[in-house]
């Protein structure tokens, strides 16, 4: 099974789309080698802007470019770009600027770089903005599809990407539809919902929990959440488990909880992720185990609760 970091898939997709859509421009905050926007920069140097370590300026410039008809992709680590919330809120959100925000190095999966580089609250921050679409693809092809959607969708988009390599899960881009989760496996009383890097962990856990025949869902769109799919799970399941490389407050688990609460879910929701705490430096595999994101941790939690 081939593996690729979704940031690499993004770089390749943006470069390819740059040839198809001349209005695409890219801006980076001195991290183009890490965000992989350097692929676009090499192909289209006159449409790439290296803004330095000045994320707020980059965001404001992108909004201006959007209002003159361009399609800007602004790139940085998720922890850094979401940290410029006030500028995003006014220049992109309130102004309804057609800007695509790309946040790489999401979550604990970046490993040794440690907490200061980890995007662990970015979804929480940006999900509150009206009108923004938030995408977190789980493999190479869904990332390419997500980038294409972002480039052609009119309105703000936040694309959350990994540093670590993820296995290929899908055979074609058509499986991705923004706003609609992917049902990987239909089951009975238990559902496992992952997003981004945790989808493969949910799939592995489902194999170890085969006696419980769990549903498995790839919730690649965090906003707007697939309400219809969540409602289906709520009607069908007694236990629903969400797994995210993010703080459990304000991310996937919160989005699912909101739908279930409004629909009168009578079962139990288990939100797995960082439990209102900071991350730390370490080996990604060990961090996933310690903070409850690994397939083994999911299995143990399910066996404990059920």
**pLDDT for res 191:** 98
**At a CB cut-off of 8 Å and minimum separation 6, what does 35 contact?**
7, 10, 11, 28, 75, 76, 77, 102, 104
Mean pLDDT computed over 55-82:
98
Report whether pLDDT(8) > 80.
yes
Provide the CB-side half-sphere exposure for 180 (13 A, CA): 7
Residues 242-247, mean pLDDT to the nearest whole number = 98
Angle between helices 6-20 and 140-152 (to 10 degrees): 40
Q: Specify the residue for token string 């404001």.
A: 60
What's the rounded mean pLDDT across residues 25-30?
Answer: 98
Q: How far apart are the first and last CA of the chain?
A: 32
Residue in 3, 12, 20, 55 annotated catalytic: 55
Quote the tokens at residue 32: 């183009």
Longest dimension (CA), the chain: 58
Q: How far is CA 185 from CA 213, 216, 229, in A?
A: 9, 5, 13
pLDDT at 1 over 70: no
Report whether pLDDT(19) > 90: yes
Average pLDDT, stretch 5-15?
98
Q: Which residues lie below 8 Å from residue 191, measured CB to CB, with a gap of 6+? A: 214, 215, 216, 217, 233, 236, 237, 239, 240, 241
Mean pLDDT of the chain: 97
The pLDDT value recorded for residue 173 is 84
pLDDT of residue 165: 97
Please give the Cα distance from 124 to 234 (Å, whole number): 23
* pLDDT > 80? residue 93: yes
Would the pLDDT of 188 be above 90? yes
Report the C-alpha gap between 118 and 287 in whole angstroms. Answer: 12
Q: Are 165 and 3 in contact (CB under 8 A)?
A: yes
Q: Is the dihedral of CA 150, 156, 162, 168 positive or negative?
A: negative
Encode pLDDT of 196-238 as tens digits: 999 999 999 999 999 999 999 999 999 999 999 999 999 999 9
Q: What six digits make up the tokens of 30?
A: 């001195």
Is the pLDDT at 172 greater than 90? The verdict is no
Q: Is 189 exposed, middle or buried (0-12, 13-18, 19+ CB in 10 A)?
A: middle
Asked if the model's pLDDT at residue 36 lies above 90, the reply is yes
Which residue ranges form the domains of the chain, and what is each CATH number? 3-167 (3.40.50.970), 182-301 (3.40.50.920)
The pLDDT of 147-165, averaged and rounded, is: 98
The whole-angstrom distance between residue 221's C-alpha and the CA centroid of its chain comes to: 7
pLDDT, average across residues 59-76: 98
- What per-residue confidence (pLDDT) applies to 51? 97
Burial zone of 129 (CB within 10 Å; 0-12 exposed, 13-18 middle, 19+ buried): middle
Q: Is 55 a catalytic residue?
A: yes
């Amino acid at each position: 099974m081939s593996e690729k970091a979704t940031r690499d898939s993004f770089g390749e997709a943006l470069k390819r789309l740059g040839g198809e859509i001349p209005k695409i421009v890219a801006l980076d905050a001195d991290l183009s080698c890490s965000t992989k926007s350097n692929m676009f920069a090499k192909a289209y140097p006159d449409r790439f802007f290296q803004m330095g370590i000045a994320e707020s300026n980059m965001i404001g410039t992108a909004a201006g470019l959007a209002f003159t008809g361009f399609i800007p992709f602004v790139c940085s680590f998720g922890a850094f770009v979401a940290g410029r919330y006030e500028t995003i809120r006014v220049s992109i959100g309130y102004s309804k600027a057609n800007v695509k925000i790309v946040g790489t190095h999401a979550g604990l999966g970046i490993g040794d770089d440690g907490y200061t580089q980890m995007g662990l609250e970015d979804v929480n921050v940006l999900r509150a903005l009206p009108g923004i679409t938030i995408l977190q693809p789980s493999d190479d092809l869904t990332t390419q599809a997500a980038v294409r959607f972002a480039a052609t969708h009119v309105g703000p988009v936040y694309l959350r990407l990994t540093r670590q390599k993820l296995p290929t899960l899908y055979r074609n881009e058509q499986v991705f539809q923004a706003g609609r989760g992917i049902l990987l496996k239909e089951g009975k009383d238990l559902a496992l919902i992952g997003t981004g890097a945790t989808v493969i962990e949910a799939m592995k856990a489902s194999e170890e929990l085969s006696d419980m025949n769990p549903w498995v869902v790839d919730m690649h769109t965090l906003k707007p959440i697939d309400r219809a799919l969540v409602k289906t799970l709520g009607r069908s399941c007694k236990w629903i488990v969400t797994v995210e490389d993010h703080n459990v407050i304000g991310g996937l688990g919160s989005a699912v909880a909101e739908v279930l609460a409004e629909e009168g879910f009578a079962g139990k929701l288990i939100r797995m992720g960082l439990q209102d705490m900071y991350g730390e430096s370490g080996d990604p595999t060990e961090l996933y185990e310690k903070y409850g994101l690994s397939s083994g941790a999911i299995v143990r939690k399910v066996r404990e609760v059920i």
